[in-house]
Amino acid sequence: MLTGREKAKSCFKLCVQLILCCVTLIAILSAGIISKGSICFIISSMSRDRTVSNDSDSLYQHAERFASWSIFFSFEVSELFGFLQSLHAVGLHGVLITNCLYLIPVLFNFLSRKPDKPKRVAKMTMDGFAFLSQLTGCLHWTLI
């Protein structure tokens, strides 16, 4: 049987855990609202319907370019952290499987290049490099 002091101590621990859960929930929701609001603000600053004078044209283009890169990095940083976390959870074999995932589409892309298109050789070279890079995952998979 619990004494009065032990009951008060367990009740206090429960209250502290509930307060911590509420604070964590509020922090996560606030961060989500702030991030979505900043994305909406960045997108609204890239509006094409603005009338810009010639004097501030380069400044507007610079701000638009900055906004584009901001959107790119705001999405890619979270994807990078998610990818790194999955690498830790899955391990080397999972990485090798994901490396081989697009092996067939890259091969089809390599074989579907039309001969009359400009920069065909450069594109086929990059496609071949991508195919060989992804093929290394299959080779490592058999060796490990």
Residue 112 within a domain: yes
| pTM greater than the 0.85 cutoff | no
Percent of the chain with pLDDT over 90: 8
Residue 56 within a domain: no
Residue 110 within a domain: yes
Residue 16 within a domain: no
Q: Give the whole-angstrom CA distance, residue 95 versus residue 64.
A: 36
Q: Which of 7-21, 22-36, 81-95 has the lowest mean pLDDT?
A: 81-95
Average pLDDT, the chain: 79
Residue 21 within a domain: no
Residue 120 within a domain: yes
Work out how many domains the chain is built from and give that number: 1
Which two tokens mark 95?
A: 């990485």
Phi/psi zone of residue 72: left (φ > 0), alpha (ψ -120 to 50 degrees), beta?
alpha
What is the gyration radius of the CA atoms in the chain, in angstroms?
A: 26
pLDDT of residue 18: 92
pLDDT of residue 19: 94
Domain that holds residue 141: 91-144
Residue 119 within a domain: yes
Residue 135 within a domain: yes
Tell me the per-residue pLDDT of 32-90, one tens digit each, with 9 for 90 and over.
888 788 778 777 777 665 555 555 667 777 777 777 777 788 778 777 777 777 777 66
